[in-house]
Amino acid sequence: MSDTSPLALPFPAAPAIPGATPHVARARYKSWDRCDLTFVTLDPGTTVAGVLTQSKCPSPEVEWCRAALILGTARALVVNAGNSNAFTGSRGRAAVEAIAACTAAHLGCQPSDVFVASTGVIGVPLPIDKAEAGLDAAFAAAPCSWEAAAATI
């Protein structure tokens, strides 16, 4: 049995995007056997804009990105799948800070140049050790297609 709906349209051919390079890896947030971390490197000087939730209780990722957007540039985007990290308080904020710091160390940039997003289970703190291991694997991985990056999310 396929995991894809019979009504789903085929994924369109996505061309390379100059200045943006996707990678995927297994952070192993869950027991499934698939990639669950998408990492996109962005060339220095990449400008960013964003629209974020107006919720009165945003996730730590939204709060982080809201602050980073003010600076107007980015070097990376990290997307975690399987754990939204929402409603996790200080532990969730610590996870986002650790992800940004780990990514920045790999790229030689500031943590504020890293945008972080997560989707999945609400109320469970994102495991920092798994996130950092996933990032290390993503940095070691060859670039992937945009389809693989999208499927990971």
Asked whether residue 48 is assigned to any structural domain, the reply reads yes
The whole-number pLDDT of residue 115 equals 98
pLDDT for 1 beyond 60: no
Number of H helices, E strands in the chain: 4, 4
Tokens of residue 137, six digits = 């694997």
Number of domains in the chain: 1
Domain CATH for 60: 3.60.70.12
Asked whether residue 147 is assigned to any structural domain, the reply reads yes
Asked whether residue 8 is assigned to any structural domain, the reply reads no
Asked whether residue 99 is assigned to any structural domain, the reply reads yes
Residue-wise pLDDT tens digits, 114-125:
999 999 999 999
Phi, psi of 75 (to 5 degrees): -120, -15
pLDDT for 2 beyond 80: no
User: Using 50, 70 and 90 to split pLDDT, how confident is the model at 31?
Assistant: confident
Asked whether residue 60 is assigned to any structural domain, the reply reads yes
Three-class DSSP category at 150: helix
- Rg of the chain on CA atoms, in Å: 15
Average pLDDT of span 88-98: 97
Residue-wise pLDDT tens digits, 43-77:
999 999 999 999 999 999 999 999 999 999 999 99
The whole-number pLDDT of residue 78 equals 98
